[in-house]
Amino acid sequence: MSTKHCSRCKQFKSLSRFYRNPNARYQSHKYSAYCKECFAEVQKDRRLRIKSSEPTTIDKACKGCGIKKSSSEFHVSFQSADHLSTRCKKCSEKYYAYSLGKRLKVYGLTPKDYARMLSEQNNRCALCSCEESRSFFGKTYTLCVDHDHKTLKPRKLLCARCNYAVGGLEHLARNGLLEIAVKYLQDS
């Protein structure tokens, strides 16, 4: 098995201990510079540093409304240089509602239909019965609309993990590999 040198802890480790870089142009950049353990420490330190640092007190133009607003009117973002999201909190809410409505339209659903389905399922995934736990800017993700990929007819609402798994199962079933996959898992 191949090994790689971690540029943070200075140890040689197997490639499985490094994250893959899917956008790498060169073979030498196919894996991250830090091993997974160091990468996790760096991310944790970065988040703590951002949270503990003095809040930025700048005026910033909102990408949504174009109005210059105080930094307190923006969510914290780990991805931007000023640690503030591009849209103010008010515009973020509007954009979130707009993008949800736009995504639902593809399946012939309205936000009211989605709310009804969510209520019927007690805000839980139709398969595993868990609540969606992933969040973004303090807002919990919505459950995914599981749908038939040929007709786009919606079936139920699923958490991201179950939705991803069902998509994989559909692919296996279409190609006659479902029984082989079940046998593979049982034999492992």
Look up tokens 């786009």; give the residue: 152
User: pLDDT tens digits for 64-85?
Assistant: 999 999 888 988 776 777 778 8
Cα torsion 8, 14, 19, 22 to 10°: value is 120
What's the pTM value of the predicted model, to 2 decimals? Answer: 0.53
Contact 159, 132 (CB under 8 A): yes
Widest CA span in the chain: 61
DSSP 154: E
Going along the chain from its start, the domains and CATH numbers come out as 1-53 (no CATH), 56-104 (no CATH), 106-187 (3.40.1800.10)
Coil, strand or helix: which one is 85?
A: strand
What tens digit of pLDDT does each residue of 147-166 get? 888 888 999 999 888 888 88
DSSP-derived letter for residue 164 is H
